[in-house]
Amino acid sequence: QVQLQESGPGLVQPSQTLSLTCTVSGASISSGGYHWSWIRQHPGKGLEWIGYIDYSGATNYNPSFKSRISISGDTSKNRFSLRLNSLTAADTAVYYCAGDPDTSGIGTFDYWGQGILVTVSS
Amino acid sequence: DIVMTQSPDSLAVSLGERATINCKSSHSVLFSSNNKNYLTWYQQKPGQPPKLLIYWASTRESGVPDRFSGSGSGTDFTLTISSLQAEDVAVYYCQQYYSTPYAFGQGTKLEIK
């Protein structure tokens, strides 16, 4: 059973950089076919895909985040991370990590972490 | 970018009755090479992450009750719950994975009447 767990700060100051980590168990992040995404949900709102890193380390980002984001992987610890800089209050959201085994096309989110609420405030 | 629009925004249905949620994409999500629609449906209950229900527009994920069904092709899709159960109260989202950036509908809140 693939499980994901987000970790990171719950409160970040405006203009600072958010760093979140997703630790994966039950699958290797370098397993062929897997794509590992970050998705966020503003309070009481819908879902927004941020980007992914795949099993080879290749990344794909949502252009709406322009150059503010980077996603990286650490195969030695079987985890992947999100960095989002120049934070504003609009980045306040629950951040989820999700796993896609590419068994039904790349882009389905079969596995999810429980989510971490990040508040941007001074 | 593909925009996903769901209707209605909220829906109240009696227990045992049928619930129908619609999803429209701004661009076809049908891949001609394999004749598959790159459209998923998720269920999200309060305080929980979304759960994948259906992929390729009409294929149920393992373990999903057969009262859930998906249909449609191209740009117009439907999620149907044939006989609403109390545990089906949730917000439902469609999502296209035809192209990045992947996009979700705004969600449909399903309640008991």
A66 pLDDT higher than 80: no
Q: Is A59 helix (H, G, I), strand (E, B) or coil?
A: strand
Beta-strand pair B76-81/A111-112: unpaired
How far apart CA A91 and CA B103 sit, in angstroms, is 18
Please give the residue of chain B at the shortest CA–CA distance from A96.
B49
Query: CB–CB of A81/A29 below 8 Å?
Result: no
Contacts B50 to A, Cβ<8 Å? 47, 109, 112
Query: CB–CB of B32/B47 below 8 Å?
Result: no
- Short-list B90, B46, B30, CA closest to B64: B90
> What are A9-54's pLDDT values in tens digits?
999 999 999 999 999 999 999 988 999 999 999 998 999 999 999 9
| Phi, psi of A68, rounded to the nearest 5 degrees | -80, -15
Mean pLDDT of A81-96: 97
Please name the residue ranges forming H helices in chain A: none
> What are B31-69's pLDDT values in tens digits?
999 999 999 999 999 999 999 999 999 999 999 999 999
Structure-token pair, residue A88: 């504003």
Q: What per-residue confidence (pLDDT) applies to A4?
A: 98
How far apart CA B53 and CA B60 sit, in angstroms, is 6
* CB-defined contacts A:B, below 8 A: 59
Q: What is the dihedral of CA A36, A26, A30, A73, to 10 degrees?
A: 50
How far apart CA A24 and CA A77 sit, in angstroms, is 9
Contacts A106 to B, Cβ<8 Å? 97
Mean pLDDT of B93-111: 98
Q: What per-residue confidence (pLDDT) applies to B17?
A: 98
Cα–Cα distances in Å, from B44 out to A90, B67, B87, B92?
22, 17, 11, 6
Q: What per-residue confidence (pLDDT) applies to A92?
A: 98
Structure-token pair, residue A64: 């709406």
How far apart CA A95 and CA A5 sit, in angstroms, is 11
Yes or no, beta carbons of A110 and B107 under 8 Å apart: no
Q: Mean pLDDT in chain B?
A: 97
Would you say how long chain B is, in residues? 113
Q: What per-residue confidence (pLDDT) applies to A104?
A: 85
